[in-house]
Copies of this chain bind each other. A is one copy, B any other.
Amino acid sequence: MTMLAAPSILAFDIFGTVVDWHGSIVGEMQTLHPQVDADAFALAWRAGYQPAMQRVRSGELGWTRIDILHRMILDELLPKFGLDHLGELERAELNRVWHRLDPWPDTVAGLTRLRTRFTICSLSNGNIGLLTNMAKRAGLPWDCILSAEVFRAYKPDPATYLGVADTFDVPPEGVMLVAAHQDDLAAARNCGLATAYIERPLEFGAANVKDVSPDAANTWHARDLVNLAELLGC
């Protein structure tokens, strides 16, 4: 009989799980460009994300940071929303909105509690600089910022999930991925990690409420990060 190690490391997906990308982008757009459909703009920007990473995964692009991918998507998007006139400085500043995403209301309290019993780190496809700027602004109390950039591979590549275990010199079951996305959790589970699903019904905005049904394959299912702290006895 094999004794499984209880997780000592919690690795968190970021976009949608820890921070509200949709609400944050909508908020900035409504202030800066009130004539634009901010909901459609935010959704279109995010929709370009997986195809852009796929160009890296397929080898069409060499290793590329998310900051650069976000900017490529943005440049394609602006004409479609009547914003082709934005200059370089305005584009660069708008692209940095991904560094300024707001946490969900429960995030800082939940992470602070979880941190008392676990080592908590990010595991995001966002680059290290983006994640650091976000954490400093939002007060996210990470013990360590891990990113696809450290492993030179994007989730759901096994190199990312197993990379966390390797970084901390623990077996895969010593790490739990915390995410609001079942596909991310399934890939982690296939690598031997424990998994915790976080409900984020408003990830895509109030007009596009997300199905947050439990998947029994996950180790835990929590309403939010404070609830996860409660479930884990923190």
Contact = CB atoms under 8 A, between A and B. Distances in A.
A10 interface: no
Closest 9 CB pairs of A and B: A132-B144, A129-B168, A144-B145, A128-B167, A129-B167, A136-B143, A132-B143, A150-B150, A129-B169
A83 to B, nearest CB: 23
Interface in A109-160: 119, 121, 127-129, 131-133, 135-136, 143-146, 149-150
A67 interface: yes
Given A67-B169, A169-B67, A135 B143 contact: yes
Given A119-B136, A129-B167, 5 more contacts: A67-B169, A119-B132, A129-B169, A144-B145, A150-B150
A212 to B, nearest CB: 31
Nearest to A136: B143
Instruction: Tell me what chain A mostly uses at the interface: helix, strand, loop, or mixed.
Output: helix
A146 B127 CA distance: 13
A167 B52 CA distance: 20
Q: Give the interface size bracket for A toward B.
A: 20 to 34
Contacts of A146: 128
A135 B141 CA distance: 12
Interface in A31-45: none
A149 B152 CA distance: 12
A132 to B, nearest CB: 4
A133 B133 CA distance: 22
A230 to B, nearest CB: 22
A149 B128 CA distance: 14
Nearest to A166: B129
Most buried by B among A119, A128, A150: A128
Contact of A168 (B132, B144, B150): B132
Contact of A144 (B67, B128, B167): B128
Contacts of A145: 144-145
Nearest to A67: B169
Nearest to A141: B141
Nearest to A150: B150
A129 B119 CA distance: 10
A132 B128 contact: no
